[in-house]
A = this chain, B = another copy of it.
């Protein structure tokens, strides 16, 4: 039987592998590492990059434990218990507005003694400019990984991503979606080992997929106008994370580690009053793609 320590250990190795791949793709930047301890139990290893290609990125590993905060227990429909949670969480903001922002998370949670356990996570992509063939490539990578496990995973988890990464107050999706899943436990019909393998497979899909997208963007030229639009889209990213993202809200409201939670913030962002891109512009076309339910 797989132990929580083994899961945490493999997540930590996943963080290592991803950081190596990202440094290679960045072509100059080096991750800065910070280890931290959580007063109530456990801790984490934060890796932050200010690179040549990636303007600001974080690849965070944590494995924490202790009494489950009352408010969390309530939200999860659990009686008071101790918990253990481990995972890897990534957000990368590239310099170039022609390259997309990406987010990835895989995580495992269990209650005291492992009575209840589940996996969660996902990957989603937020291009400043939507490029349909890149969106197709991105979704195909996720579909391929999902289909190694179940034919229902990709359609189910793609829909969950569309629903989750949505700015209700703008009536627009954060980006072109991806996959999002939570509470994957034995009720899925899969063993803990199989579901862990799936979570790891999602984690391993991340680096080759994103580095391909960086390569595709690398030669695209851009100017002031594209940088300006990038800043506005980064503002939307901030809005999603601070207003709608459950993990962020929950962490900030329950005394989580602020700097780790807010590593997802872009390095810069801008807001303009009632900005409306010109009809037919690349920016207006991108807004047209920010809808739920598109089959890429």
Contact = CB atoms under 8 A, between A and B. Distances in A.
A239 B255 CA distance: 15
A242 interface: yes
Give the residue among A231, A243, A273 with the most B Cβ atoms within 10 A.
A273
Given A238-B242, A239-B242, A252-B243, A267 B258 contact: no
Contacts of A238: 238, 242, 269
Copies of this protein, total: 2
A133 interface: no
Contact of A258 (B169, B231, B235, B266): B169
A58 interface: yes
Contacts of A249: 243
Contacts of A48: 273-274
Contacts of A269: 235, 238, 268-271
Interface of A: 34, 46, 48, 56, 58, 168-170, 231, 235, 238-239, 242-243, 249, 251-253, 255-256, 258-259, 261-263, 265-274
Given A168-B252, A170-B258, 8 more contacts: A48-B274, A56-B273, A169-B253, A238-B238, A238-B242, A239-B262, A259-B273, A262-B271
